[in-house]
Amino acid sequence: MSDSKSKKIAVVTGASAGIGAVYAERLAARGYDLILVARRAERLEALSAKISKIHGRQVEVIGADLTKEADLARVEKILATDPAVRVLVNNAGNAKLGPVARTSAEDAASMIALNITALTRLTQAVLPAFLSRNAGVIVNVGSVLSFHSLPVSSIYSGTKGYVLNFSRGIQEELAGTGVRLQLVLPASTATELWDLSGVPLAALNQDTVMTSEDLVDAALSGFDKGEAITLPSVADASLWGTYDAARSALFAATQTGKPAPRYKAS
């Protein structure tokens, strides 16, 4: 994601505020024209004017609800057909936190539709074009709740666990190509998602909350360093290596075709 003279576009979903808005500004500073996608078009228009004034970049605004088929298909078409698209930031997400028994079917379906279905379909839409050019970047914004679950996060953690495994599999598919997928796993970040989730941002230990600006700057630094997985708040990078090695060892241990001795009748 460096500067170049040829026209290049970054598509950012969930760009009306928080992490997505910061990604838009940072990518514009890196020389990208932008396609910004979010439900709140009026906020996108204000961000577009700001970016155009400061960075002189072209910005297209798409008011779209990615949980709706027609809107999702409209963005898919752009990703599949516009050769100037070089970067896709899958940032749009939704969280409704609470026990499963007290979560409405509508809230559960909304999280699944945005966090899983939209992210999957937009990735599928852009990948063939990236692979045909042997160049392109996908950034999937997951969460540290991809590998941890709380009593109020069962559905949200489930959707972000999908993002983790989906992204890791695609990274294996892309090995040896010029296409990159970076998985970013934020911890608590100061965005509007919290107040909309049912757990107010003010209720969190503020010492554990990162600003959206610090989060995106760390994620971009991780990308520049060649990271496939970026955990912006984790100081000891070896912890991910230990976790991943344990995961691989556990999977290898399943490949026996026989019940474990502890399950055999004595």
**Positions marked catalytic:** 156
Amino acid, single-letter form, for residue 65: D
| Residues pairing with 90 in the sheet | 140
Radius of gyration of the chain measured on its C-alpha atoms: 19
CB contact at 8 A, 213 and 25: no
Helix (H, G, I), strand (E, B) or coil at 225: coil
Place of tokens 């959707």: 159
CB contact at 8 A, 156 and 111: yes
151: number of CA atoms within 13 Å, CB side? 0
CB contact at 8 A, 13 and 90: yes
131: number of CA atoms within 13 Å, CB side? 12
Alpha helix (H) residue ranges in 100-204: 105-111, 119-133, 154-173, 193-197
C-alpha 127/C-alpha 262 separation (Å) is 45
CA angle 71, 74, 77 (to 5 degrees): 150
